[in-house]
Amino acid sequence: MKITEQIKQPIAFEMELFEKKFRLAMSSKVALLNRITHYIVNRKGKQMRPMFVFLVAKMLNNGEVSERTYRGASVIELIHTATLVHDDVVDDSNRRRGFFSINALWKNKIAVLIGDYLLSKGLLLSIDNNDFDLLKIISVAVREMSEGELLQIEKARQLDITEDVYYEIIRQKTATLIAACCSLGAASVKPNSPEIEQMRKFGELIGMAFQIKDDLFDYGETKIGKPTGIDIKEQKMTLPLIYALNNSSKKEKAWLINSVKNHNKDKKRVKEVIAFVIEKGGLDYAESKMVEFQKEALTLLDAYPKSEFKASLTLMVNYVIERKK
């Protein structure tokens, strides 16, 4: 059995019902909208985010979920999908999960409007049901994600990124959404409880490990969703690169910055940069940091009694750093 299916086992019933509720949450009276949202729903990813919502809720609530849990999972998936649609426009990307992106098929204007529509659907789902505590969790996540993206763009222009700034970028850009999933799961069954903050921290740590794993893929030979060296081509300062920069001589540093700034489209030069980062121990360092975040996340689960939901969350944390794509 695939590891994702193993993780899903204790929440299989909830995930199936969630699919139906999610389709309903996306529906509209406009035929074009329905055609596009139907296209999106049929090309869904691994659905890690709703899985976090249900697993956390069931772990904290003796295996029970509530209607609020389903709404929380739907909201997070609507918002996450909206950000992906907008990201593809911003990055001018024609593919998403191996299929054509919305902007590739229906052009940018429609893609931006679809993203806005999904965002408003998510917000209204919470407002219409008076889930204001859930809405706050989501809204903070959206704000942080936008700030993280803009901080990354600002730093990419100057290439003056420190390790601390890098952590702040990935915390906002990636970790904040997984943190929101876990705190939503907790808030849906245990409103106003200390577990909400505990689970937010747990999700944040997983998100940090998840992003560092993504950074490592940029240096790997394995065929994953993105080609090797793409972060360098896009002048993204990732942890292996930052470590190499901080542990280089003045001359090496100048060469590295010049390579990333001015020769990032030169395949041979990009390969040289990758080799240099590996030689400087950038990958080993990033990997050790990733494991630190993973271990910290698992420690937070120690406080909870043994259950199949806790076992699945542990599997999920390990899967995040062991995945091949």
Six-digit token string for 93: 């990307």
What pLDDT is stored for residue 198 in this prediction? 96
What pLDDT is stored for residue 44 in this prediction? 66
Please give the average pLDDT of every successive group of 10 residues along the chain, which has 325 residues: 86 92 82 79 77 96 94 90 76 66 75 85 91 93 91 77 90 94 96 96 96 86 54 81 92 90 85 91 94 95 94 92 76
Six-digit token string for 155: 């730093």
What pLDDT is stored for residue 244 in this prediction? 92
Domains along the sequence of the chain with CATH:
3-308 (1.10.600.10)
